[in-house]
Amino acid sequence: MRSPITSRARKVMHSLLTGRRVGLAAVTAALVSVPLVLSTAAPVSALAGSPIAENTYAFTVKLAIGDTFRACTGTLINAQWVLTASSCFADDPTAGYSVAAGKPKWKTTATVGRTDLGTTAGQVREVVELVPRTDRDLVLAKLATPVRGITPLRVGSTSPAVDDQLKGAGYGRTKDTWVPGRLHAGDFTVNQVDTNRLQIDGTPVCKGDTGAPVFREKNGVLELAAVATASWQGGCLGTSETRTGAVATRVDDLGAWVRQSTASTLTPWRLQLVTVAGKDLYHSVKDSNWDWTAFGAVEQAAGGIGDIEQAADAGISGTNTVLALGADGVIYETKRNPNGAWVPFRSLTAELGSLAGLKKISVTSMGSTLGLVGIAGGRVYHSVRDTSGKWIKWGDVSAAAGPLTNPTDITITKVGDTTHIGVIANTNKAYHVIRDGLGNWGSWGEITKITGAPTSASALAFAGTGTNDLQVVLVAPGGVIKHAARLANGNWSTFGDLDGSVLGTGPVTALSAATVDNEFHTAVIRNGAIKHTVRHLDGSWEPADTPPGAPANPTSLAVTGSLS
């Protein structure tokens, strides 16, 4: 077992990590218990592993502090915040990692998503604020504006254990290159777990890697376990040291601190998600920093209602209404208030009336009211919850808009002052109908006949954006997800694929959509896992995002936006 690192050792380690030159300098340290010779002319450098494929571990951040004064590595942990070592910003890292909160002393730029430094890929942001820890070598760095198109690395919540296998990525020196042009990655083994840090061994950690992410895979999702802060630097170019051990600052116990410290960049908007797994209902929230809350069991909070087949949800201000379709064919309603408290489930049969064979529902916010649709007995039905919270009896949409054969999926949304309903029917064809502000129904129009649309579909979801635009996603044959918009003038945009980096590939078993702060969100269950993406106002899409800690084997999901 490696002996604990002494204070003297840590100072020498930081000295090695902060070697300076006329160009960039690097911040690292060395795990030593005896004095080492300090080189004051150390060039900048990265983790001495193997170069990685383009865009792999794109959450890794290259930090230039004082332009050519010092260089470090960091981790993008949400849309606007980077986690790194506070010693990167200290006047003299050998004297300790203490750093003042607020604007950095030296102008600092963060390059995110540029795994090949010879390209112009990724995005560059200035660091405008530091939020340091006082008990360990760690600091949060706020970016001037949010980063788009790069999936952050979430902070884990479980401590690593001895012999756990971890990975790391950095821009520092390698075994044969002073200033590498690519991000490098390597493997580590945990040798010792201390209160605030890990002692790890494996791939050499070199100058320029201070603040680098040390991460692991948990349930198929990468999560941040620690931040590299010191190393022996054995195996790094320019040193005769052979020991490769390193120190990494733990972050697994800092979830509450991270959320509190990054709250300044939150907006009031939230994405609410419910999912059914094992016939039980679960709920999570994604905030505007892209952070997900832990999944909670809704029935534990709102009361047990037996097996649940499907759920739907809609937000009015900060209140989220969740409807659960039970295995008994009954719709149950609960509400999640802005303070997070759940209202007990209640049956809606007395208000809605009973529909034999009810098998699919969808609900949407209509401002101060809610709109609900369902499929039962081969017909489509509609209801409205008024401002007093009471539902009207089911109305027969098929009688007003025309019958459809064997409807299997349904969705509803508000667009301007109109209601739009989509249905899969007539052997995998997609249909659309509009209810105007006076309650009058139009006739069904076939979406799968639109130029460029898939000829068949197994699922669909709607959400309204802008003033009068309808966003549509369809699941085409082979599980391909297609997206288009019906514009305010009634014209349709070209259908495009959302597979690959946007929502992955593979079979899709559930699909949902919502508008959050006028941006279009889509969530799917693909290959047995929940995937989520957002379409920004400029038309760009975020890469697929998987909520951490989601229940296993989900079968149904629904999303909605809420304003708290």
DSSP-assigned states of every residue in 389-437: SPBPPPEEHHHHH---SS--EEEEEEETTEEEEEEEETTTEEEEEEE-T
Is the pLDDT at 9 greater than 80, yes or no?
A: no
H-assigned helices in 315-385: 349-352
Widest pairwise Cα distance in the chain? 86
Q: How far apart are CA 186 and CA 47, in angstroms?
A: 7
pLDDT of residue 281: 98
**Domains in the chain: how many in total?**
2
Residue 35: CATH number of its domain: 2.40.10.120
Confidence of residue 37 (pLDDT cuts 50, 70, 90): very low
For the chain, the distance separating the N- and C-terminal CA atoms, rounded to the nearest angstrom, is 51
User: 217, 236, 259: which is the final residue of a domain?
Assistant: 259
Is the pLDDT at 29 greater than 50, yes or no?
A: no
| Least confident span in 88-92, 142-146, 160-164 | 88-92
Query: Does the residue 185 lie in any domain?
Result: yes
Residue 481, helix vs strand vs coil: strand
**Same domain flag for 18 and 134:** yes
Q: How far apart are CA 556 and CA 274, in angstroms?
A: 8
CA atoms within 13 A on the CB side of 283: 26
Is the pLDDT at 443 greater than 50, yes or no?
A: yes
Query: Does the residue 2 lie in any domain?
Result: no
**Same domain flag for 184 and 281:** no
Q: How far apart are CA 130 and CA 101, in angstroms?
A: 5
Query: Does the residue 1 lie in any domain?
Result: no
Nearest to 290 by CA among 147, 156, 504, 159: 147
Beta strand 221-231 pairing with 154-155:
parallel
User: 243, 259, 275: which is the final residue of a domain?
Assistant: 259
Query: Does the residue 213 lie in any domain?
Result: yes
pLDDT of residue 165: 96
pLDDT of residue 47: 59
User: 259, 289, 313: which is the final residue of a domain?
Assistant: 259
Q: Is the dihedral of CA 474, 477, 479, 481 positive or negative?
A: negative
Q: Tokens representing 505?
A: 């590939």
Query: Does the residue 555 lie in any domain?
Result: yes
User: Could you read off the pLDDT of 344-399 as tens digits, one per residue?
Assistant: 999 999 999 999 999 999 999 998 999 999 999 999 999 999 999 999 999 999 99
Q: Is the dihedral of CA 443, 364, 278, 294 positive or negative?
A: positive
**Same domain flag for 209 and 304:** no
More confident residue, 138 or 209: 138
**Same domain flag for 122 and 237:** yes
Query: Does the residue 243 lie in any domain?
Result: yes
pLDDT of residue 48: 55
Is the pLDDT at 27 greater than 80, yes or no?
A: no
User: Could you read off the pLDDT of 385-437 as tens digits, one per residue?
Assistant: 999 999 999 999 999 999 999 999 999 999 999 999 999 999 999 999 999 99
Q: How far apart are CA 555 and CA 534, in angstroms?
A: 21
**Same domain flag for 57 and 162:** yes
Residue 348: CATH number of its domain: 2.120.10.70
Query: Does the residue 304 lie in any domain?
Result: yes
Residue 377, helix vs strand vs coil: coil
The domain in which residue 203 lies consists of 7-259
Is the backbone of residue 338 left (phi > 0), alpha (psi -120 to 50) or beta? alpha
**Same domain flag for 77 and 142:** yes
Beta strand 496-497 pairing with 280-287:
unpaired
Is the pLDDT at 62 greater than 90, yes or no?
A: yes
**Same domain flag for 201 and 236:** yes
**Same domain flag for 252 and 276:** no
**Same domain flag for 304 and 359:** yes
**Same domain flag for 226 and 315:** no
| Least confident span in 46-55, 135-144, 374-383, 547-556 | 46-55
pLDDT of residue 359: 94
Residue 299, helix vs strand vs coil: helix
**Same domain flag for 366 and 485:** yes
More confident residue, 505 or 501: 505
pLDDT of residue 22: 25
Predicted TM-score (pTM) of this structure: 0.87
Q: Tokens representing 474?
A: 């369809």
**296-305: long-range contacts, CB 8 A cutoff, minimum separation 24:** 298/274, 298/322, 298/324, 298/334, 298/342, 299/345, 301/341, 301/342, 302/334, 302/342, 302/343, 302/344, 302/345, 303/334, 303/344, 303/345, 305/330, 305/332, 305/345
Query: Does the residue 434 lie in any domain?
Result: yes
pLDDT of residue 173: 75
Q: 143: which strand partners?
A: 127
Looking at every residue in the chain, the average pLDDT score rounds to 88
**Same domain flag for 137 and 284:** no
Nearest to 180 by CA among 207, 202, 211, 204: 207
